[in-house]
Amino acid sequence: ALDGLPELLGEADSWEGFEPLPAHRALVDAARRFPHVRVPRTRAVFEAMAAAGIEQVVTGKEAFRAWRLILREYGVPAPGPQPPDGRTMMVPPAPEEWRLIPSWQWLRAGVEGRRSRVVIAAATRAKALERTLELTDSAEIERRLRSLPGVGVWTAAEVRQRAHGDADAFSFADYHVSRNVSYALIGEELDDEGCAELIEPYRGHRFRVQRLLELAGVGHPRYGPRKALPTHTPGATHRLR
């Protein structure tokens, strides 16, 4: 496990070729404020796919709640000393164990059938997913990830960011990211197509642009209230321990 520690700390990541354009003042400032930020590489492809599948088209709070409940029910305690307060850190289930989670438990966690099927399909092909770590062509990695049912551009990008340490895996098809990035760079909210054109000069580092601006806390203004969590699902009424 220690052999992978350098990659977890971003040793394989490089800023070479990344140079913020002077006109993109927010990015220039972010790069100056966070010069040591690296994109880590976990090598845990299936785990990243399971998490991203659960996170599809819901709020972060909903996704984290579902992940927490599933791990409490089906995960195993992490190795090492246990904390005195009893709040044990849990390790995600193995792929074959994800496949055994009954449908009612998914619903109890607030995960409907479309998302749970993504995770189950990924669990079925877990070994093939891990083999994408052997590839160096980002386009081929994305193609293989998206060959799974229910996996689109956003989910594939999330996996590439986390498991492969891909500094170019920009989160297209996200509700906020393109709008945030374009607003931070030029003061105008653009859709995915417009943002893709805007950040093309940063190809190879487009996720780095996204991450630096996230860390700097810049983005489009929010006017409305935050989305309310649903109250009509089994997961909404289940009390988390």
Per-residue model confidence as pLDDT tens digits over 32-49 = 999 999 999 999 999 999
Domain made up of 45-79+89-162: CATH architecture:
Orthogonal Bundle (1.10)
Angle between helical axes of 206-216 and 177-186 (0-180°, round to 10): 80
Q: How many CB atoms lie within 10 A of CB 16?
A: 8
Residues above pLDDT 70, as percent of the chain: 91
Per-residue model confidence as pLDDT tens digits over 68-83 = 999 999 999 988 888 7
pLDDT over 50 at 153, yes or no: yes
Q: Which residues contact 161 (CB under 8 A, 6 or more apart)?
A: 39, 169, 171, 207
Instruction: Domain ranges for the chain, please list them.
Output: 2-39+171-216, 45-79+89-162
The structure tokens 């386009």 sit at: 139
pLDDT at 237: 37
Q: How many CB atoms lie within 10 A of CB 82?
A: 11
Angstrom CA distances, 12 to 38, 135, 181, 190, stand at 9, 15, 25, 32
pLDDT over 70 at 29, yes or no: yes
Q: Could you tell me which of 137, 157, 159, 140 has the C-alpha nearest to residue 46?
A: 159
pLDDT at 239: 32
Query: pTM, whole model, 2 decimals?
Result: 0.89
Average pLDDT over residues 161-175: 97
The structure tokens 């090598």 sit at: 43
Report the distance separating Cα 3 and Cα 190, nearest Å.
Answer: 42
Report the distance separating Cα 129 and Cα 162, nearest Å.
Answer: 13
Phi-psi region of 87 (alpha: psi -120 to 50; beta: other; left: phi over 0): beta
Q: Could you tell me which of 7, 9, 2 has the C-alpha nearest to residue 36?
A: 9
Backbone φ and ψ of 76, nearest 5°: -125, 150
Per-residue model confidence as pLDDT tens digits over 82-102 = 878 777 889 999 999 999 999
pLDDT at 4: 87
Name residue 3's amino acid: D
Handedness of CA 140, 125, 234, 75 (dihedral sign): negative
